[in-house]
Structure 1
Amino acid sequence: MSRLRAVVAALTLGVPFVATAADVTRVATSFEDDDPFGMFIDVGFEHAQRRAKIVREVLPTQTGGTRQYTPELWYRSGDTRLNLDVAFGISPDVELSFGLPVVLARDEQWNFVAGRNEDNSSITNNCLRANGSLTDPTCATLGAQQQALFNVPLQAYRGGLGNMRFGFAWGIFNQRKDETKPNWVVGLDYEAPTARQLNFEGLTATSPETRGAVGDRVHKYTVYTALSRKIGLADPYFRMHYTIPVRGPGAYTNCDNRNVEPQNLGRPQNCGIEGWDRKTTGIQAPHVAGVSFGSEFLVLDRPSRQFTLDLRAIGNYVSEGRYYNELSGALRKLLYTSDYAQIGGQFTIKLKLSDVLSVRGTGMMLYNTDHVLTDEKIGKDTSGNGAVDLTNNPEEINPNFDFRTDFVSRRFYATESKDFRLDLGATFSF
């Protein structure tokens, strides 16, 4: 037994074994013998950015050639917000929580890539209408009646109160109470569609003084589980989660804005007819599944101070769906987006100043795999002849389908896409 203790002491560098929970398994607890009431208040300032190159698909000019992609735009978005979260214990190892983000600014920019301008870009030199007809018979040869998809450069400004979040978490195992077990938490977060609904009325480029809304009118349910175990200086952990979106009443559909000029729906007259109701043509938020794993490391441990480093690897999967993506603000509609993966990491520095107050700083970077931004299906076969009949039965055409951007050889892709996030915050523990 003494040899085993010596080995454990050597592996943990002689650090006393004190069972505490990593942040991913933190649970507010109440009605304990030594803690009648537990609560956490988290206040944070967050700034996130997405940068991507937007390219356009071009079919090969020769038989058997490979498909080409022409760079068109640089896209950049920034989201700056204040986050307020409160968690309190309702029984031993069981907490309820709620949070509210205040989106100070959600800004987007579209600019030409180097070598691309309004004279040679397919965005500005466009000869098609959304329904596939030519703007003018001589447009392709003489450039008559060219109609830009949108103007470049372009900016959009949004902001306001975000969606409220409500959460429930249960600490099934608690290492502090039983050192033979790890910390194990399961939970459910519910994001309610409380934010004012985003729409595309008027010009996209509003102004910093008159910001558009940020809400999507979608209920989001996230189930998750996390495990951690304190071993000397290290506190390794693992977390996985899955988000299920459920469209709420009055959720946006592009058909709500079918009279926009210039027209951005290929077959707006099909909106609302049999087979193309709001559920079919409206927002279809993506499902998101992810895992993360890493470890916290206690660098400094003194009675009045604790200094902790947290290194984390992250992997997410985002399913296909019709929602607000990197081109929606420019094309003024929700766009059907292919699925993609996110891979990256996160680094956190946390300083505990007292039993009540701790502060933290977090940096995160994710790489997003290439994905299609305009991928609406042309329609559906309702007659049973095995094909979508564009001429004899145009009611089979998807109202959202845009012949300028969704047709193969004209689709847009997001490439070289990366997400960055900086988070500065404080936690008050009671």
Structure 2
Amino acid sequence: MKLFRRKESSTLPLVPITEDLEFKPFRETYKIITFTMIVGMLYPMPNTDKCRVAGILALLLTTQPMCIPALIDIWYSWLRGDIINIIRHTTVIGPFLGAIFKMMMFFYSRKEAWSIIKKMDADHARYNTLPEHLKDIARRHIQNTQYYSEKCWTITVSICVLTFPLTAVILTLYNYAFKEEPVKYMIHDVNKPFSPEEDRFTSPYFEIMFFYMCYCSVLFIISFTGFDAFFGVTINHACMKMELSCKTMEDAMSETERDSRHRRILDVISQQNDLFRMVELIQQTFAIWLGVIVVATMLQICNCMYQIIEGYGIDARYLIFILGTIAHIYAPCHYAAKLQDSALEVATHLYCCGWERVNDERARKLIIFMIARAQIPLKITAFNMFDFDMELFVSIVQTAYSMFTLLRS
């Protein structure tokens, strides 16, 4: 048996760590997210900094065979005025380059991200010592996070990305099986640089690019699964801490002994302060990313709509892609709004904890200060300028549609 001690306080008791504990560290609780973050050079463990730098540089080099031909094709499309082809390329290459930028940005904020993970590990270790009714709250939140933020998001990203290679495989096989003059389909159709358009379908160039784009699709899935799901996990964990602290305050008011009641109230205050520090870390970790995806999502939705309506006919791939793009901005807006709503409910729950039944002046004074602090809104902002909430989501969709109508005119 090993012993674990929280680093935040040396006075906390040792908590035994065994394999049969219900609440386990982040790496064991959210295995899909951890795996994709590690493979995608996103997991912020301090002793892996050099490996992550080398991995990011390697990914930059290995993605050039896709990016450079696409950028060259965009340039020639600009010269001949082919706006549809430019939009088709930017719809796919833009998010792909954004995934590389995401790795660099998360490396920059690795200390804050690692602090968040360590806080979650310490909280999960503490939850194993809680009474059963508090464990039920933690269990419900963690299961909800595993289902929606981990599994459902992974499926969503995978469907959006795999639609492109699966469509290319099915259409190519169908042509070779049922047509006398079969046509080959690329995952993302890019002309071979400085060559006639037909050369992109010649062997072995077509086969090499096909499997290479499959590799790029895997990188796409890994990057957009781990990082984006991690944001949802952190917000849900913060909401769980709020509900647990409110329930702990209710338990404190049911204590008959004054000293025991004060200890529980001080524990709630400690949890509340730890929550505020965690929200600050979330803000520092994701502020730049949130600002970038606001702009990128508006452009992406506009591009997909233009590609579907003004392009080469209705394409199911871009229909699915636009739904995935909307989900990509809806998720952080939903989580940020959830954090705001949960924070607003804390003051009400503290007021209704049963303090009026307790003849304890010190406890009442502490609750007054806690309610006053809980009334300060908790918000997640992009670029530290505008708040993330559902109103922002509606505004993004409306702005994207306005840009689309302007582009059509």
Judge same fold: TM > 0.5, yes or no.
no
TM-score normalized by the length of structure 1: 0.21
Higher strand share: 1
TM-score normalized by the length of structure 2: 0.21
Higher helix share: 2
